[in-house]
Chains A and B, each alone.
Chain A
Amino acid sequence: MELSIKKYGILSPREVSINSQKLIDVDVQESLEKSLAQTYRNLGLEYLKFFKMDNLSKLATLAAECLLKDTELYAITDNDNVAVVLSNASSSLVADAKYQQTINGPGNYFPSPSLFVYTLPNITIGEICIKHKIYGENIFLISQFFNANNLYLHVNELFEKTNTRFCITGWVECNETTYEAFLMLVAKGKSDNIFDIKTLENLYKNK
């Protein structure tokens, strides 16, 4: 099956771009939180749920927004054929550490449900699916490094074996000091970028 990368986007404190073209300006001096909030504003997004999210979900939500903007999938109310396959290295570790702080000692034991819910990496997928009404196949995979081989295998098989017609896939990684998202919109057919392992590796490397 011939699959291609219709669009790819990068979102980091240094760069917000689609297909290597700058999408909006970012101020590299800002803190993590401020930088994400600034990207939200510069995208002209009005989505109050955003402010409840942890940084990893904010990152995934913004990256998906950049990717889906101006595509045929935006504002459709039932995206049953859209799959979401995300990956990263540190799972939800930032949220995990934050939650752990609330249960460390007997004098400091205030477990919070609103913190606990973000201690799962696949919440990012849930947030993207809610925002864009995506009901398709979804999975969150963890790997120490961007695993182009397995991501290619997984996405390719989804197109072969399931009702998938579009797939949002890539890497959403967030730690205490920085973040990076590299998302692609994959679909059947031709475009400048074939969906294969080599292209995946090159796009990720050159980001």
Chain B
Amino acid sequence: MKVVYKIADNIISSLGFTTAENMAAINMGQSGIVLHENKFGIPEPFQASAVDFGKLNAAFSSIAKSNQYTDFERLIISSVYETVNHTDIDLSSSETLFVISTTKGNVSLLDPKLSQGFDAVRVNLWAAANEIATFFKNPNTPVIVSQACISGVSALLAAKMYLESGKYKQVVVTGGDVLSKFIVSGFQSFKALSPNRCKPFDALRDGLTLGEGAATIILGIADENSLSANSIVIKAGAISNDANHISGPSRTGEGLYRAITHTLKDVDIQNLAFINAHGTATLYNDEMEAIAISRAGLEHIPVNSLKGYIGHTLGAAGLIETIICSHSLLNTRQIKTLGFSNLGVSKNLNVITKTSGFKATECLKTASGFGGCNAAVLIKKYD
């Protein structure tokens, strides 16, 4: 049987510019979230997990001319560049497709103070995607997924289908989002941001913390029997809509419940090591997730949220968190939910509070977002 597997990965976040740097920081319990004052000309201070663009740009200048690309494009190109360095994949091949996940891409170019030097057309997601695909000399039209906070998981599931169709040999799934006045002020206007570092599933949780970053997963397709030991396979997944409200999560966890049950249809839940939830730490999101997980009969499965380490990285979140989960499976170490102390949802979730070992080989990753969208993906480690 053919399976879709991970060839290589990269994470760029406040915690580092490689997956290894990010995993090392997370395993030590480090958070990249700090308080930002007077940033972007936003009157209120805010907590956020920000990428060190000074360092990124210095590294980027050895790859290409920095001023020809926006922050968003530099972030994505850097991530893909580092990922592909670990492989012998030909990105210029017509059998390689780029799938790019982002919510807002170059939106900061709408700010008259930030748009200098770039053509107005560059604010379009397709224009940024074309820059990225052209940089790597890829001949295919890049596929862009823009689906709020599930964009990353959606992009992975789309890539899985495209590979299974036989049309492509490998897919570069990459994505990201950059903090901006646009994004921060928007979440502030929703009263969605916590004045502190976010506390997923906690009784005292009072909002989310934003983050920025990029991630890349190169996926390939191969016969199951030909996989080497410790391969990570994207085994199943599903997307569902709440059909309830455009900005509020469903009170019955409808879409997420359906996404989870469709994903686990042919899965023995004995093999589930843990669930990596969306866990943004807003009152309503975490409660909705608890209801969906409970309805799916998974209350006893250990569950974590990674938002306390790197914040909510929007279009990158699904990719960054899936990569962290895959390494958690490989290291057989559950990652504790940073910021969590006391359970504050109505269902008895088994929230992971200490980094500890396990034997099972599969992990369920979920995401939910504005527009009522929900996604779940099941990844499996092959021994």
A106-B41 in contact given A126-B373, A139-B147 (Cβ < 8 Å):
yes
Cβ–Cβ contact B371 & A91, under 8 A: no
Mask: chain B, 149-165; 1 = CB below 8 Å from A; 0 = not: 00000100010011011
Query: Which of B245, B258, B371: most chain A Cβ within 10 A?
Result: B371
Interface status of B143 (Cβ within 8 A of chain A): yes
Cβ–Cβ contact B125 & A91, under 8 A: yes
User: What are 17 A-B residue pairs whose CB atoms fall within 8 Å in the complex?
Assistant: A96-B182, A99-B186, A119-B182, A122-B146, A125-B241, A126-B241, A126-B372, A130-B244, A134-B243, A135-B241, A135-B243, A137-B240, A138-B239, A139-B154, A140-B147, A147-B141, A162-B238
Q: Top 3 nearest A-B pairs by Cβ distance? A: A126-B371, A116-B186, A157-B161
Question: Which positions 128-164 of chain A face chain B at CB distance < 8 Å?
Answer: 129-130, 132-144, 147, 149-150, 153-154, 156-158, 161-163
**Interface range, B side:** 35 or more
Partner of B161, one of A91, A123, A125, A158: A158
A103-B161 in contact given A125-B241, A129-B241, A135-B258 (Cβ < 8 Å):
no
Query: Which of A116, A139, A153, A158: most chain B Cβ within 10 A?
Result: A139
Residues of A within 8 A of B (CB): 80, 84, 89-91, 93, 96-97, 99-100, 103-104, 106, 109, 111-113, 116-117, 119-127, 129-130, 132-144, 147, 149-150, 153-154, 156-158, 161-163
Cβ–Cβ contact B165 & A120, under 8 A: no
Question: Which positions 227-258 of chain B face chain A at CB distance < 8 Å?
Answer: 238-247, 254-255, 258
Cβ–Cβ contact A150 & B143, under 8 A: yes
Cβ–Cβ contact A117 & B146, under 8 A: no
Partner of B111, one of A104, A112, A149: A104
Name the B residues within 8 Å of A123 (CB-CB): 246, 370-371
Name the A residues within 8 Å of B373 (CB-CB): 122, 125-126, 138
- Contacts A135-B241, A157-B165 given; 15 further ones with Cβ under 8 A? A99-B186, A112-B189, A119-B107, A120-B103, A135-B240, A135-B258, A139-B147, A140-B146, A142-B125, A144-B124, A144-B126, A154-B161, A154-B162, A158-B161, A163-B262
